[in-house]
Structure 1
C-alpha cells in the first residue's frame, strides 16, 4: 500500500480545450494515494465547471475557485491547501504518463533525497521514451548550476519536492512574477537541498501548441517580467560561488535571447523598437558567457549564432512554425 500522500497542484485558467485530458491523466495515476488540487484562477470559460465535474467524480480532487491573480498566487494557494508529504506540479494544458507520480515518488523516497527531477519531457514532435535510463544524484549547488545552464527544465513540472523543504524554508512563488516564476521557485528549492535525484526518464507531456498559454501571446510586459525575474533570482541566491554566478549570467543572457526570439516571432518589433534594439545589443555584447559554463553543444551553437547574427534563430523558428501551422 502506498503510505505517503502526494499533492498534485494544478493552476487552471481558461484551458477548457485541454483540461479534461490533463485531469484524466491525473486520476489514472498508478500511485493512488494522491490529492489533486485544482486552482481555478478566475477562468472566463468552462474550466471552473469542468473542475467541479471532476471533483464529483473523484474524491481525491479538491477545487479552489478564486479571483484571477496570476499563476504564482494560484500555486501558492495550492501549497497552502496541500496536505501531502510530497508536492508536484502539473500545468493544466499539459498531461502526464500514468507513472508520473509513482516514478518520481520512488526516486525521491528510495534515495532519501529532498527533490527528484525528470529532465526529459515528451513534446509534440517527440513521442519516444528514453531508450537508456540514466539516474544520478547531485548536491544543491550543482543542481542550481545545472538548471541555470538549461540542462534541467526550468518549469516546476516533472519534479517532486519534499514538502518540509518548502515549508521549513518558507519558499513560495513570487506574487509579481508570472514569467519565470517556476525558474525562481526551483532555484530557491535546489540551493537549500542536500541531495537531488536526476533521471532522464520521461513522464510529462509538454504541450507546445496551446494558444492560451502565457508563453504564446506576445506582450512586452512578459519580456520585461522575465528579465525582472532574473534580477529577483540573483538577489535571492544564497550560494554565490563563481560557478553559480557564471551560470546565472548565462541564464540572464539566455533570458534576453528568449525575449528577443519571442518579440521577433510575435511581431512585436515594430511597436517596441527601443526594446528590440536593447535586447539585440545585450545579446551581441554578452553571448560569450557560454564559454564559462557547461552547456550542451546545441546551446553553444545557439549562443554563437545569436551573438553574431541575432535574428537568424527567430527567423528559423518562424519558418518552422509556419510549416507546422502553429500560431504565435
Structure 2
C-alpha cells in the first residue's frame, strides 16, 4: 500500500529507468547498483538483456531478486540497442523516462536533479551537456538551468556540441507516446542520435541542465565508441541521411549544423578504415570520404564561428589522411591513459 501511495503522489512521480545490456558483466553490476542507490526512490528499473553470452543476464536476475523495483527481460533474439530500448519503452509505466547505457553509472542524485530540472522548466525533455567520465571526475563550477528552443537544441545536438546519445537526458513519457517516438530498428549505429533529434524537433521546448550527474565510461574496449568498426562510420552516415530526410526544422542554423556533422562523419569513417587497417578492402569508400572531406571543408569551415575549429577544418581538408592518422593517435593515447588511470577498477 505504501508503494502504491508513493506512485500516486504528484510530488514523487515514478521514473522509469531503461538499461540496455549486452555482454557487459564487468560493468553492469556497478551500473545497476548506482540506480538502486539513487536518493530518489520511486523508480522502475527496467533491465533488458539482449542475448548476452556472458554472465550479464545472471547478474541482472540477482539484482531483481533483491529489489522488487528491478524488472528483467531476456530477449530470445538479438535486436541491438534499438530493439532493446523499444522493449523498455513498451514496458515503462513511469511518468518520466531515463535511458542508461549498461556500462555507465549514475551519481546518487542523478534522478532527483534531472527530475527537478524538467519539472522546473516544464519542458518535454531535458538534456545535459556535461558528464563525468572515467577520465574526468571534476564537477563544473556553476550549476545553471536554461531553456532552449527546439531549433537551438536540434542544432547543438547536430554540431554536436553536446552528447549525442539518448542517455544523460530525461523525457516525459506522455510526450514520447504522443509523438510515437521509437528507435529505428534498421540502424546499425546512431539510433540514439536519431531518436534525440526527432524528439528535440517536436518538443515544446528543451530544459538544459548544467551539473555533472552521469558517469560516461571511456575504458570499455568492447564499446562501439572505442572498438574500431567501419560499419560504425557507414552506419552513422546512413542515420544522418534519415535525419536529413525527415527534418522538420530547416533553418540555416540547423542545416549548417547538420552538414558539419555529415562532414565530420565522413572524416570519422576514414578514421575507422585506417584504425581497422582495411584500406585495401575499402578503397572506393576511402576515396569517397577523402573527396567529400576535401570538397566540403571550406563551406563547413566558413559556417563555423570558432576560429580554432575553422583552422582545424581547413587543415583537415588539405591533408585529410594525415589528419585522420593524427586524430587516431590522440584517440589511442587517450584510451591508454584512461586504462592506466582506472587500472585498479
TM-score, scaled relative to structure 2: 0.89
Matched, 1:31 2:40: yes
Matches within 5 A, 1:117-128: 117-128=127-138
1:173 is aligned to 2:166 = no
Q: CA deviation at 1:268?
A: 2.8
Count of residues in Structure 1 that have an aligned counterpart in Structure 2: 327
2:68 paired with 1:46: no
CA contact (8 A) 2:301 2:314 kept: no
Which protein has the larger Cα radius of gyration, Structure 1 or Structure 2? 2
Indicate whether 1:60 and 2:69 are aligned.
yes
Q: RMSD in angstroms over aligned alpha carbons?
A: 2.0
1:294-309 residue pairs with structure 2 within 5 A? 299-309=309-319
Following the alignment from structure 1 to structure 2, what is the Cα–Cα distance between the partners of residues 63 and 175?
Answer: 21
For 1:44 and 1:185, locate their aligned partners in 2 and report how far apart those are by CA, in whole Å.
Answer: 28
CA contact (8 A) 1:36 1:60 kept: yes
C-alpha distance 257-238 of structure 1, shift in aligned 2 (>3 A) = same
Equivalent-residue separation in structure 2 for 1:295 and 1:160 (angstroms): 30
Q: Is the 8 A contact 1:218 1:268 kept in 2?
A: no
Distance across 1 between alignment mates of 2:295 and 2:262: 13
1:219–1:319 distance in 2 versus 1, CA, 3 Å:
closer
The match for 2:162 is 152
Q: How does 1:1-328 map to 2 (within 5 A)?
A: 2-66=11-75, 67-291=77-301, 293=303, 299-320=309-330, 321-322=332-333, 325=336
TM-score, length basis structure 1: 0.93
Show CA shifts across 1:290-315 (max 9, x none).
Answer: 34645655544442332222234432
- Residues 324 and 81 of structure 1, relative CA distance in 2, 3 Å threshold: closer
| CA offsets 1:89-138 (integer angstroms, 9 cap, x no match) | 11001111111111110000012111111101122321101012232111
Q: Is the 8 A contact 1:246 1:289 kept in 2?
A: no
Give CA-to-partner distance per residue, 1:36-65, whole Å, 9 cap, x none: 111100111111111101111111111111
Is the CA contact (8 Å cut-off) linking 1:38 and 1:51 kept in structure 2?
Answer: yes
On the 8 A contact 1:220/1:272 being kept in 2, the answer is no
* DSSP-derived class of the 1:88 partner: strand
Work out the CA distance in 2 between the residues paired with 1:56 and 1:324: 36
* More divergent stretch after superposition (234-243 vs 213-222): 213-222
Alpha-carbon separation, structure 2, partners of 1:307 and 1:232? 25
Where structure 1 has 5 or more consecutive residues not aligned to the other structure, the ranges are none
Paired with 2:90 and 2:325, the residues of 1 have a C-alpha distance of 43
> Is the 8 Å Cα contact of residues 118 and 207 (structure 2) preserved in structure 1?
yes
Q: What SS does the aligned partner of 1:325 have? A: helix
Residues 173 and 206 of structure 1: is their aligned pair in 2 closer, same or farther, counting only changes over 3 Å? same
Q: Is the 8 A contact 1:9 1:75 kept in 2?
A: yes
